[in-house]
Chains A and B, each alone.
Chain A
Amino acid sequence: MEYKLRTPVPEGEIRRLKMGDLVYVSGIIITARDEAHLKALELHESGEQPPVDFRGVGIFHCGPIMKKVDGEWTVVAAGPTTSARMEIFQDKFIEAFRPAIIIGKGGMGDRTTKACSDYGCAYGAFTGGAALLAVKGIKRVRDVFWLEEMGMPECLWVYEVEDFGPMIVTIDSHGNNMTENVKKKILAKKEKILASMEG
């Protein structure tokens, strides 16, 4: 199935998504990588709010190339980064801020899968390296936070997007995880190959 989501995405719409579906997002997506996740969670734990509301939006694992043209930020290239690095705190992030969809590449693990099913979130895999395809869907840079402190790849860029995608739902809110399924097959195949080399 193919779905077009608009942020803030109601939980019911996320619950409809199934592993293998194609999705496009319109509205707001916000880039966040390792440092931004850490800082947002630290603020949350000390009872403070991050400078932007993550509820119902897309969280994009991305460190873009940005350029200022005539005083306005423009996006040069903005493909997904490896999501697995965020596995160590993505579940806490989902619990604390309730984003609708995590966008990245390479998939995530069991902790994120559980948080997706507990709190109604999904993971959309964007083709890794397809940085210009991603730019096509970004209409405007609405805001940027923590740029001075973290630098261009790590800070929070708030993008207004229209039909941003396509993304494949590889983690749905029902406990399914496509990348983990493939991983199990790879590991089984690996054992066979290693055994055949013993002979």
Chain B
Amino acid sequence: MVELEKIVEDTAVELLRIAATELHTEYVEELERAMEKTEGAVGRSQLANILENVGMARDGSRPMCQDTGVVAFMVKLGDGFPIRSGIKEILVRATRRATEEVPLRPNAVDTFKGNTRDNVGLNGYVPIVYFDLVDGDGLELVAMPKGGGSSNVAAHSMLKPGLGLKGVKQFVIESMAKAGSLGCPPYFVGVGLGGGEDLCMILAKKALLKPFKVRNPDPRVAEMEEELLEKINELGIGAMGLGEGPSALDLHIEMAARHPASLPVGVVISCWALRHAKAKITSDGRVTIDKSA
């Protein structure tokens, strides 16, 4: 048991290191294609700088961005996995260790007392941990550190249901135009639709983790994803908001049912450095790290 706890902790530290230092190959290739297609010298130079920087991070196992974000974990805990409530404390320990070992920037601030210096803080809320209880006896961990610049341009609205899907689409376009240069484009976009004022934001954040360029299985949602992505690129934000190159690389929608009187929409935006890493751990401690985007 003690050994399994150590395995989970080491894996969580490793996931934070991978997330901070290795951009997924699929994203890198998309940025390379985007650079080839970009005609303006300013846009090309921004994409070239990003790609050079990403290479340096991978080669030297160093964080690609100084803003290593607020740490979040998405946990799928199997019914038969031997560690239960103890997972939380293990993830807190892993966050403290990764802060020293990767290193990550201390990004957890107590608004009254200042920086906590270890990325952990206040009433058990940070690192942020999302638990799902699932079948089986395994554990799946996703580490997702997210930077402040792109988090600051997230948007939320409780639309009037009468505005319908058109209203939803218009709100997404408005939000992206407002984000403009501020959150390090080209962006990844997550849209959460339904579920209430809180859940739509969580859905939007989780939508960022859906497989790259794989459209929603519901053809109506898939069509909306494609339409929104195309229109966001028509806005012409460009790399770093300088008007040249892509504005967004991908967009996913995640839906939940809603109250009849509410049409909640959440838009969560990631900078070009969409950082996440996933691992599966079996009940006897075998670890598989999944590096696909």
Contact = CB atoms under 8 A, between A and B. Distances in A.
Given A152-B106, A182-B238, A189-B236, A84 B182 contact: yes
A187 interface: yes
For B62, B68, B115, B180, the residue with the greatest tally of chain A CB atoms inside 10 Å of its CB is B180
Interface in B91-121: 103-107, 109, 114-115, 117
A20 interface: yes
Contacts, number: 162
Interface string A153-188: 110000000000010101000000011011101110
Contacts of A178: 242
Contacts of A132: 53, 56-57, 60, 62, 64
B170 A82 contact: no
Nearest to A196: B231
For A64, A107, A130, the residue with the greatest tally of chain B CB atoms inside 10 Å of its CB is A130
Contact of A127 (B53, B68, B107, B174): B53
A79 B170 CA distance: 33
Task: Indicate the size class of the contact surface on chain B.
Answer: 35 or more
Interface of B: 42, 45-46, 49-50, 52-53, 56-57, 60, 62-68, 103-107, 109, 114-115, 117, 147-149, 152, 166, 169-170, 173-174, 177, 180-184, 231, 234-238, 240-243, 271-273
28 contacts: A63-B66, A63-B67, A76-B103, A77-B62, A77-B64, A77-B65, A77-B66, A78-B66, A79-B65, A81-B67, A127-B53, A127-B240, A129-B53, A129-B273, A130-B49, A130-B50, A131-B63, A154-B115, A166-B49, A170-B242, A179-B181, A182-B242, A182-B243, A183-B241, A189-B177, A189-B235, A193-B173, A197-B166
Given A185-B243, A187-B177, A190-B174, 7 more contacts: A20-B42, A79-B66, A81-B148, A129-B67, A183-B241, A189-B235, A193-B231
